[in-house]
Amino acid sequence: MRTKGWLILLLGSVAVGCCSCASDEVSRQANEEGVYTRYNLHYVAEHGTVKASFANWTDWPGHGFVPYNSRVLAQGWSNRIHFQTDTGLRINFEINPGRMGMSATQYLALITSPTQVTYENLSDVDRQGIEAGKALVGMSKQGVMIALGYPAQHRTPSLDDNRWTYWKGRHDTYVVEFDGSGKVAAITG
């Protein structure tokens, strides 16, 4: 009877492991071959560590960003993704799966691509904001996402919302407000 219980437990573990095969493939490619960033990847240097966050710290002292379409090696765990750029920069990316509603591996697939991304129909103001890593009045939603990164889901539950929240630092936020046509009308906070 005891052997049967262990066998059921073992088979259950194998079945659960197979459900994550697609996520495992994303992680394998990101770790072994590298992937490309879909959006600018913002980070801060703090206490000798380079950190980034799902909350997109986009205006903190010591802030910088890796431009979109940068090739990175990445490895995801339950609450972290470690990125390494071709220049050797190592970024410890903090994840909060409870607030995000997805695992680190799922988030990694959302913010990276196996090939370089192409964004067409970007306006001049979109390109200026993306290059500066900032939201500018007149930018499109796509332009803001490329410039600032995917907004944190617990404060911006839907990309259809006309208010996207980003962080200046660990505790200070600002809101990018869009008009009815999906263009930035104001940046508050």
The total of other beta-carbon atoms located within 10 Å of residue 147's CB is: 27
3-state class (DSSP) for residue 41 = strand
3-state class (DSSP) for residue 149 = coil
Element (H, E) at 133: none
Measured N-to-C along each axis, helices 124-132 and 141-148 cross at an angle, to the nearest 10 degrees, of: 20
E strand intervals along the chain: 35-37, 41-46, 49-53, 63-66, 71-76, 80-85, 90-94, 112-113, 163-167, 173-178, 184-188
pTM: 0.81
pLDDT tens-place values along the chain, 189 residues long: 444 433 333 333 333 333 444 445 555 556 678 999 999 999 998 787 898 888 788 888 778 999 999 999 998 777 889 999 999 999 999 888 777 777 888 888 999 999 999 998 999 999 999 999 999 999 999 999 999 998 888 889 999 999 999 988 778 899 999 999 999 999 998
What are the b/e assignments for 60-78, b being 16+ CB within 10 Å?
Answer: beeebbbebbbebbbbbee
d(CA 70, CA 72): 6
3-state class (DSSP) for residue 55 = coil
d(CA 173, CA 118): 29
Q: For 94-117, how does the pLDDT look when each residue is reduced to its tens digit (9 = 90+)?
A: 888 777 777 888 888 999 999 999
